[in-house]
Structure 1
Amino acid sequence: MNIDSAREKFLLFLQNYEEYKTCDFSESDTRSKVIDKLFIDILGWSESNIQREGHVDCGYYDYRFSIPGFYMLVEAKKQFLDFVLPIKTKIVSINTLLSENRDVIQQIRNYLSDEGIDYGIITNGKQFIIGQFINHNGTLWKQNKCLVFNGLDEIKENFITFYNNLSKEGIIENGGFKFLQNKEIEFSKKIIETLVDREKEIVRNSISTNLTPIIETIFGEIFSDIKEDDAEFIKECFVENKETIKNRAELNGLFSDTPPFLSEVVGAQNHDSISQQINAEITSSNVSLKMAPPKPVIIVGSKGAGKTTFINFLFKNKLPNDTINRYPYVYVDFIKYYKNSKNVDTEKISEDILNSLYEQYPFLELDTYKVLKRIYIHEINRNDRGIWSVYKEKNQLVYLDKLNSFIEEKFKHKELHLEELSKYLVRERQMRLIVIIDNADQFDMETQESAFLFASSLNRRAFCGVFVSLREGYYYKWRNLPPFNAFESNVYHVTAPKYSEVLQKRISYTLKKIEFDSSVIERNVTGVNQVGYKIEMETQNIKEFFLSLQNSLFDNSNELIVDFLNYSTFPNTREGLRLFKLFLISGYTDVSEYIMRVRFNRDNHKITIPIHEFVKSIGLHNKLYYNHEISVIPNLFYPCNESSNHFLKIWILKYLSNKLKSGGNVNKYDSLSDLANCFINYGYKTDIIYKELELLLKLELIETDEILTDIKWVNLPEKVFNVCISAKGYYYLNEVMNRFYYFELVLQDTPIFDEVFFNNMCQVFPHCTENGKRNMNNRIETVECFMRYLGEQENHEPRVVLNQLGSIVQDIKNKGMDADIRNIKDKMGLS
């Protein structure tokens, strides 16, 4: 049913209605001959959505219409029982209609109250009163707006409004009556808007200010142009994945990375065994054109498993020298050749492979005239015996010109030349070229197919050994279909290393450098600390502090910090390092105090960082107050544009979290359209659902099987893809979101849609001193008030969502908030 066909049917209904005017219809006749036709034939409702003559305590209602997330009752009156309504179609308050339509309004209110439904329609077949007749938010129901149609001619003139508000399609699309959805939000204010100093920054003590450039210098090393194929970097920072006892059982279990049970996939337990098996594959056959080359090697692994780092580690550190010497290799980063097109320029890739060979292996002299002639020696010999024979015998200048033209022509066709060069290495040097095609897994299936086909053609025609990294989800789904089933391959699953170990090694790699580089800390640092004492710190003390971070950051005493970095930035190691640097240079982090602890506590140089200090430091950075637009801490309670719903992001995360728990890592994805339809059926508006999904993707709280998190985009792409909860989303949902330290930040920049609650929060909200200090007692009161406000707001959520996914507010209390507040009060003696 669409609006055009609905209007045609309505015009036909009007013609038949003229006949009904001569009949004195009872309520039953009105229902069967008029209302059924309107709602079923014209407005698109089906019998499965309708229950007739339901019994409640006060009597029998006429119709109950139900879709997931929305319910309404329809009360049908006799045809000639006219209502007293405004002449034209209008939106008016119920109170305006009440005095002259009291009986019918009170009757439907009684039915609604008994049935636990808020929305109703009163009609006699030609006039309609549509509205919300029951409230749960403490406001007067009489002040609610209702939409009235005073006759069928009015409906004809305003059919679009009629259809958008009462059709099944319109109610699903708008999550209820459209005229109620379109009403402006009557009240919306944020605490931060009331603060005159909201843009101010914290006043830092001078010694911390003087230490900041040193921190920037040291941790700037992490963000320098270190290449993933740098030998020293790989040696120091590669995490070999051996069998370990994992803690954090639930999170690590849900996001663990294990190969599927497929006979053709080699699931090695650590990188040593994979390396040994791959080396055996490379060297398994004699280097000869009479022997088939090794089968293509496909490296699969989850996103962030470190396939690129593993490939580099394999060839630079693990494979024996004998293998490397006999098997020159070239690394191809596929990202370089992807230009938003499905066509892969294999000619350009081949040209770059050739150039890499010339640069990396000059001793092979592959670009010399001597070798070029050897590459094409068979064709040259044939030409010497045939078409060039006369010139070779009688005119050497012409012969050489022919020979040079021949070689130049061959050299123009890079892909064909690469094949011939590779066969030359096999034939005359007993060496096999290895081509590694990496990062094809960053793109869609069609692009990955192109990469695989190119690699396979090099393997078959050029006798190359080839490595291709592919996304495991794609490979497992398509492995028995073309082109993958046309080529026999060896598949290796690279298991992701423990992310915290990756962070630790990279931080240690950077910090170690200050031991050998005196220019990093050239002189003592002087200044005034937070207490006001003048302090001078020697360079050795500062070095000791930074070096102590290697041992203490990943100690058990800082396990909450490690978890935060681990789960909120996985698999983006660089982002984890950036957050740690942000903590050290934040105005709220008193580095001088940590240095003094190391200096005077000689027996124990370990530094303990409370999680609330860490989150506050990175969440506020140098600002006095939280602003969700610039903070690295996302505000899950901030509605998208044109919405006043604090919870939809969280409902989506809970839905995907449940899917992960029930289906495991293999079945964690849900199609975007199925997910959206689920929440449409709950009663949420389509455009709001997609806006919230966009925000969740941008915040990296959910992830897709198609899109890289580092690709910048404005809107959801117009393509079919699947989504799942990310490690960050799961961690925020089950840990961060439930803690006092999170709430006291985000409440500062959350719109409050209730004036009474807003005023109460403003009364107790503590303002910051210039040093960022705030009264703890008032901080607790503000959080408690915000929790009560959220509880009231949650009462307006669809009951079906609450029944299926559970109360968000109660989860927050149970998972940490109540315990946090008790602990704080105990320490303050407020219990």
Structure 2
Amino acid sequence: MSNLADNAFDRLKSLETEIRASLVIGVNESDTRLKAIDRILFEVLGWSHEAVFTEPTTESGYIDYLLTIGERRNALVVEAKRVGVLAPATKAERITEVSLSGPVVKPLLPGIRQAFGYAVEKGAPVAAVTDGEAWLFFKAARTDGRPPLEGKGILFPTLASVFADFAIFAELLSPIAIVDRRHLAHLDGAEGMKVGDAEQHYFVFPPGEAKMKRRDPLANDAALLFSQFFSRLSGDQDKEMLRDCFVETGESRKADLELQKIIQKVLNNIAPISTDSGGALQVELERAMTSQRSETVLLIGNKGSGKSTFVDRFFDQILPLSIRERCVVARVDLGNYHGDPSRIVSWAILQLRDILEAGVCSNDPPTYEDLQGIFFREYQRWKTGSRRPLYERDRELFKEQFGVHMESRRENHPDEYVRLLLEWASSGHKRLPCLIFDNTDQFSVEVQDAVYQLAHSLESAGAVFNIVPITDRTIWRLAKAGALQSYSAKSFYLPVPEAKEIISRRVTFLKAKLRAEPNAAKSYFSRKGFQIEVNNLQMLAEAVEKVFVENDYVSGLIGRLGNFDIRRMLKIAERIFLSPEIKIDEIIKSKFGGPSVTTDKFRTHRALIKGEYDRFTEVENDFITNVFETNPQRPGSPLLAFYILWVLRQRLNSNRSKDVDAAHWLTADLADYFERCGVPNEVLLEAVRRLYERRLIEALDPNVEVIGMADKVSIKESGVAHIELVTTSTVYVEQMGTTTGINDLSVRDELRVRVRGGAFLELRDIFLRYLLKVDSIRMNIPSTPAYAQVTEARRQVKAISSTERPAGKRTPRAGPPKKQPRHPGRFRLV
């Protein structure tokens, strides 16, 4: 059993005595429901009361239990009877598969008919009949043309059988299992409907045996270049580089789907912010400064969007000096905390204490006079109140005792001391404390919620301007935790720039450093660990510019594959540039790269797909997914993932300007859609989960860990990029053809022959014909308008093959030529 089933079984065992005591002959139906069935549903299996409806009315009567999932989708009807009424005609003590029209369930037949009627009226696909002791589960909706009573059900004849086979019982009745339709899988199995048998897979090149290829001589320095200036987005070693390479985006940039989701589902007071001027943020800061009223600002952006750098630039470079001098900036970087998460708030207080002291006090560390100003009210109370005699008799001793008191308060009550510092900055120095709580996203929602509450609690100490940079995922978490509803805050969304703009800014920064006075430039790069000549770095920078900045097809693909996450985009660029397929040493020798690098998509795609290895493998490639891969234990169509991406893209395109919900598709509905093509629910759900894990699709709620049938999904930019790769990249199809499991040994051997001969267009065509053949066997696409897009997707795959092109039209070989650029020939896979 899974952990969830184990925990549920433990709860059932703890209630066993009480439940058995309630199941005695003569007890009425209401008592059976209250003392046995209710406890099994709610306490054991974990159904929420919001998802269960008792006594909902129908034309036929009142349903005992209507179980729902997701957005009130009726899932299962439970018809309850008093104990002893059902009494199936069997002496079996274990779970059994029974015919609904057979003698074993004859005593249950009235209840079965009653449950059938309710389920049909409510559209519930499954029903159950129980008296608390016996449980019978069966399909209430059929699409195979058979009368309902000719079907089969799963019977637990006694409560003992429920204990004996509890794992199956939980998968028939628990909410999580019903969401994933595991209950239907069991009922299908009872009727002999099984998912296809396991198959053997054969590989041209097993992806698990991939080996790294030797780097070019200058690749190590190129790797250092990318590490220092392209891939790094955080760290204190070179703030100048981070700030100068920040890409400004105007707030007029069209809001993307993620912003629409936040607006419609979480916050309605959020707006994009102009990162070149930070105008809206400056307005909010000046308002807090003038009104002397506290305010909290949420700066929302995806992971790696440059939130921290934006805040640093805002206070150091963008904000006018006249306003900056009236601010006390205290940035608490929670990324530096590596202790017990339960103590993160007390740690943050200590950080604030030290940072505010340095910013507020005239001296660092603070002098006695500084501390006396912070504790001025207490000093006055001591002086004129209870310690007045001491003050008048011995002022030095008074001063000494008050000093001990101040240090004790500072050390033992840092939270109170921080509040005094904030008050002194605001009222004593007429400066606005600007508190920044950065990098909370790596912590749990409980920690994020606590830090958010801390920020708001400090508002009561005086006029405070809080800035909390967080990701879109954190916003959803805080919304569920309730923090967003408890406190008011102004929210801004940080737009993400294009990959081309990001890389271009870094190249510009590098060139500026290289153009500096020779000794200064050499010193700067030596401190970064570079041992090669500065003019070689100049050539590397120019090569980067040639490959990524001057070719939109490269930077555009990088952006989509990285889902416009800056960190991922730069890692993809690094992957391409360091791949042996690009041949960095040749780039350096030619100074400007040359046409073989700047215009050859084949070489770029091989670098992207293979990286530093001799073949494609998902183990080391987090950006490229084999959409043709199938599970040999539960095989489906090798084109199913491609079809899912295709229809999700069409749904997004059709609803991009409408409600966000409309752009997402409920997984249960997606399963129903493909079920009519012959795709079992389990196979569809497995494919959707794989696409989600590989970041090709997203859930409406970004914090979903494992996609279930009740989750809504939409295609991500990476999914769109993979459609493009399938339909336009010969290299992608070739690489997948050599590393995808093939269930036909003769096809695998044909592919191997083509690899040895370097006939990669023939290899591609053989692989595509194999995919289409298996697809036609495992999927039957209805010829109706509703399935026109799936038919079109299949047609697009057919069109890739050279056999689908007009006769006599020659198609060039894939990949760069070896000797004659204008007449591509045969080449070997390297």
* 2:268 is the alignment partner of 1:276: no
Check 1:245–1:224 CA distance in 2 against 1; reply closer, same or farther (3 A cut).
closer
1:657-696 equivalences in 2 (<5 Å): 657-664=649-656, 667-668=659-660, 674-676=666-668, 678-679=670-671, 683=675, 691-696=686-691
Equivalent residue, structure 2, for 1:239: 247
Check 1:692–1:454 CA distance in 2 against 1; reply closer, same or farther (3 A cut).
same
Check 1:816–1:725 CA distance in 2 against 1; reply closer, same or farther (3 A cut).
same
Unaligned runs of 5+ in 1: 16-27, 52-64, 77-120, 131-146, 150-157, 247-251, 525-538, 710-714
Equivalent residue, structure 1, for 2:618: 628
Counterparts of 1:166 and 1:321, CA distance in 2: 67
State TM-score, norm by structure 1: 0.67
Equivalent residue, structure 2, for 1:570: 563
Matched residues, number: 689
Equivalent residue, structure 1, for 2:52: none
- Residue aligned with 1:626, SS: coil
1:8-23 equivalences in 2 (<5 Å): 12=87, 14=89
* 2:575 is the alignment partner of 1:582: yes
- Residue aligned with 1:716, SS: coil
Check 1:466–1:549 CA distance in 2 against 1; reply closer, same or farther (3 A cut).
same
Instruction: Indicate conservation of the 8 Å contact 2:781/2:787, yes or no.
Output: no
User: Which of 685, 706, 719 is the aligned partner of 1:716?
Assistant: 706
User: Which of 732, 748, 752 is the aligned partner of 1:765?
Assistant: 752
Instruction: Indicate conservation of the 8 Å contact 1:218/1:510, yes or no.
Output: no
Identity %: 14
* 2:715 is the alignment partner of 1:703: no
Residue 204 of structure 2 aligns to which amino acid in structure 1? I
Counterparts of 1:444 and 1:350, CA distance in 2: 19
Check 1:384–1:256 CA distance in 2 against 1; reply closer, same or farther (3 A cut).
closer
Equivalent residue, structure 2, for 1:826: 811
**1:583 to partner: Cα distance:** 2.2
- TM-superposition CA deviations, 1:196-237 (whole Å, max 9, x none): x965665x6xxx732222322322324568527954123321
Equivalent residue, structure 2, for 1:791: 775
Residue 222 of structure 2 aligns to which amino acid in structure 1? I
Check 1:719–1:785 CA distance in 2 against 1; reply closer, same or farther (3 A cut).
closer
Instruction: Indicate conservation of the 8 Å contact 1:259/1:267, yes or no.
Output: no
**1:619 to partner: Cα distance:** 2.0
Counterparts of 1:737 and 1:588, CA distance in 2: 22
Counterparts of 1:600 and 1:451, CA distance in 2: 50
1:728-807 equivalences in 2 (<5 Å): 728-736=718-726, 739-753=729-743, 755=744, 758-766=745-753, 774-795=758-779, 803=787, 806-807=790-791
- Residue aligned with 2:618, SS: coil
Instruction: Indicate conservation of the 8 Å contact 2:251/2:275, yes or no.
Output: no
- TM-superposition CA deviations, 1:340-385 (whole Å, max 9, x none): 96x6743321211122234567754463322111111111111122
User: Which of 546, 553, 574 is the aligned partner of 1:552?
Assistant: 546
- Residue aligned with 1:209, SS: coil
Equivalent residue, structure 1, for 2:463: 463
Equivalent residue, structure 1, for 2:367: 368
State TM-score, norm by structure 2: 0.67
Check 1:814–1:227 CA distance in 2 against 1; reply closer, same or farther (3 A cut).
farther
**1:567 to partner: Cα distance:** 0.8
Check 1:824–1:403 CA distance in 2 against 1; reply closer, same or farther (3 A cut).
farther
Instruction: Indicate conservation of the 8 Å contact 1:303/1:471, yes or no.
Output: yes
- Residue aligned with 1:332, SS: strand
Residue 248 of structure 2 aligns to which amino acid in structure 1? E
Counterparts of 2:425 and 2:167, CA distance in 1: 76
**1:613 to partner: Cα distance:** 2.0
- Residue aligned with 1:466, SS: strand
**1:327 to partner: Cα distance:** 0.6
1:593-612 equivalences in 2 (<5 Å): 593-595=586-588, 597-598=590-591, 607-612=597-602
1:293-304 equivalences in 2 (<5 Å): 293-301=293-301
**1:255 to partner: Cα distance:** 7.0
- TM-superposition CA deviations, 1:553-581 (whole Å, max 9, x none): 3455x222112211111343233222222
Check 1:29–1:707 CA distance in 2 against 1; reply closer, same or farther (3 A cut).
closer
Instruction: Indicate conservation of the 8 Å contact 1:190/1:748, yes or no.
Output: no
Counterparts of 1:263 and 1:690, CA distance in 2: 31
Q: Greater CA deviation, 430-439 or 318-327?
A: 430-439
Residue 368 of structure 2 aligns to which amino acid in structure 1? Y
Equivalent residue, structure 2, for 1:227: 235
Residue 637 of structure 1 aligns to which amino acid in structure 2? F
Relative contact order (alpha carbons < 8 A, sep ≥ 6): 1 or 2 greater?
1
1:20-31 equivalences in 2 (<5 Å): none
- TM-superposition CA deviations, 1:526-551 (whole Å, max 9, x none): xxxxxxxxxxxxx85x5454232354
Equivalent residue, structure 2, for 1:115: none
Instruction: Indicate conservation of the 8 Å contact 2:781/2:790, yes or no.
Output: no
Equivalent residue, structure 2, for 1:528: none
Counterparts of 2:245 and 2:383, CA distance in 1: 56
Instruction: Indicate conservation of the 8 Å contact 1:761/1:785, yes or no.
Output: no
- Residue aligned with 1:813, SS: helix
Counterparts of 2:355 and 2:658, CA distance in 1: 39
**1:280 to partner: Cα distance:** 3.9
Counterparts of 2:762 and 2:686, CA distance in 1: 35
Residue 376 of structure 2 aligns to which amino acid in structure 1? I
Check 1:545–1:802 CA distance in 2 against 1; reply closer, same or farther (3 A cut).
farther
Instruction: Indicate conservation of the 8 Å contact 1:682/1:800, yes or no.
Output: no
Residue 715 of structure 2 aligns to which amino acid in structure 1? I
Counterparts of 2:170 and 2:612, CA distance in 1: 49
- Residue aligned with 1:433, SS: strand
- TM-superposition CA deviations, 1:463-519 (whole Å, max 9, x none): 222223355688699999976566654443433333431233235545765663476
Counterparts of 1:490 and 1:801, CA distance in 2: 46
Q: Greater CA deviation, 168-177 or 459-468?
A: 168-177
Residue 433 of structure 2 aligns to which amino acid in structure 1? L
Residue 298 of structure 2 aligns to which amino acid in structure 1? I
Check 1:488–1:672 CA distance in 2 against 1; reply closer, same or farther (3 A cut).
closer
* 2:637 is the alignment partner of 1:637: no
Counterparts of 2:750 and 2:172, CA distance in 1: 43
- Residue aligned with 2:811, SS: helix
Residue 617 of structure 1 aligns to which amino acid in structure 2? A
Instruction: Indicate conservation of the 8 Å contact 2:197/2:635, yes or no.
Output: yes
Structure of greater Rg? 1
User: Which of 180, 188, 195 is the aligned partner of 2:200?
Assistant: 188
- Residue aligned with 2:409, SS: helix
**1:623 to partner: Cα distance:** 3.7
Equivalent residue, structure 1, for 2:352: 353
- Residue aligned with 1:577, SS: helix
- Residue aligned with 1:657, SS: helix
Check 1:315–1:573 CA distance in 2 against 1; reply closer, same or farther (3 A cut).
same
Residue 212 of structure 1 aligns to which amino acid in structure 2? A
* 2:409 is the alignment partner of 1:410: yes
Check 1:718–1:258 CA distance in 2 against 1; reply closer, same or farther (3 A cut).
closer
Residue 220 of structure 2 aligns to which amino acid in structure 1? P
- TM-superposition CA deviations, 1:695-739 (whole Å, max 9, x none): 333312233566679xxxxx7399997654322123223554664
Check 1:334–1:703 CA distance in 2 against 1; reply closer, same or farther (3 A cut).
farther
Counterparts of 2:168 and 2:446, CA distance in 1: 46
**1:663 to partner: Cα distance:** 3.8
- TM-superposition CA deviations, 1:181-204 (whole Å, max 9, x none): 667735322223689x965665x6
Residue 810 of structure 1 aligns to which amino acid in structure 2? R
Check 1:345–1:303 CA distance in 2 against 1; reply closer, same or farther (3 A cut).
closer
Counterparts of 1:808 and 1:337, CA distance in 2: 53
